[in-house]
A and B are shown apart, each in its own frame.
Chain A
Amino acid sequence: MSDPDETTKITTILEEAVSSVFAEVAFIDVEKPRSVEAQEADLETAGKTDLLCAAIDVLSPLSYRLEIRVGKKLLDKIVENLFPEGDLESRKKNAEDSLLEMLNIIAGNFISAFFGAGSETQLELPRYLYFSEKEGGTPVCGLSLDAEGEPVEVFLYSVRYRY
């Protein structure tokens, strides 16, 4: 995954997967941010308070990790859209799962679109990632997107020889 053309293709497919899953699952439009610098500043601010990072490991057909980073405000919006009738307590309970499930679907959609439907696929279960446990990996691509005014970042890392 080091060919520039391939990186462009990966980025496009990943962006499509993120946009369609946010739209179809949480009814939230995702697009390129007006200003990447402002976006990064927003995430930095969120990072001091409520930044959430989730990851899913793909073991086959290639070994890599997909990460998503959102602020708590965006997660609240996702949960509100997904569980419109839920009370505050049940929304809190479902909040963590919502981001993990969306990441799971993004990963599945990305794999299906990039490798084709016939490839044998093995996915780990998605989980929250704490910055202290961040492991190394070779960055393949990163997306900095705007989800109706809230920042969302998605990163793909190639992770070798772990299994």
Chain B
Amino acid sequence: MKTYRKILIVDDSPTSRMIIQRCFEMIGAEAGEYHYAENGIEGLTIAGDEKEIDLVFSDINMPKMDGKTFIKLLRNKPETANIPVIITSSIADSVAEAELKELSISGYIKKPVSPEKIMHILGGVDERS
């Protein structure tokens, strides 16, 4: 399993952020640092300030700025355009998933997030990188 330098988790729920990090660690994946954002606005700021983020987990339904807008804006900046993004959402929404795939997301995980679901998606991310 690849070692990541910095991982950004964008989710308005501290519980969700904790579950994602814990599942990530349970599959033996390693990250140098974890950064957390409560919404897309904070996520963009961190992604812009921290130069070495190499993986993002993002929720969709968040206050202030939702996940779709966050990813669109992330893709518009050359320095963040290619960061792999994994969506975590409580809803299995094939329409939203198709829209998000046009923004080159790396995967879509329906909550609850589990180590197996993350491992499955990360396998694809690691192969492409």
Contacts and interface: CB of A to CB of B under 8 A. Distances in A.
A24 B114 contact: yes
Contacts of B12: 125
B110 interface: yes
Interface stretch (B2-10, B28-36, B67-75, B91-99): B91-99
Contact of A25 (B14, B91, B112): B112
B18 interface: yes
Question: Would you call the interface of chain A mostly helix, strand, loop, or mixed?
Answer: helix
Contacts of A46: none
A125 B15 contact: no
Interface residues of B, number: 20
Interface string A13-50: 00000001100110000000000000000000000000
Nearest to A120: B95
A101 B95 contact: no
Question: Would you call the interface of chain B mostly helix, strand, loop, or mixed?
Answer: loop
Nearest to B19: A25
A20 B110 CA distance: 13
A159 interface: no
Nearest to B22: A82
A123 interface: yes
Interface string A77-110: 0000011000000000110011011101101110
Interface of A: 20-21, 24-25, 82-83, 93-94, 97-98, 100-102, 104-105, 107-109, 111-112, 117-121, 123, 125
Interface of B: 12-16, 18-19, 61, 63, 89-95, 110-112, 114
Contacts of B92: 108, 112, 117
A12 to B, nearest CB: 18
Given A25-B19, A112-B110, A121 B91 contact: yes
A123 B15 contact: no
B91 A94 contact: no
Contacts of B13: 97, 100-101, 104
Given A100-B13, A120-B95, A125-B61, A105 B90 contact: yes
Contacts of A82: 15, 18-19
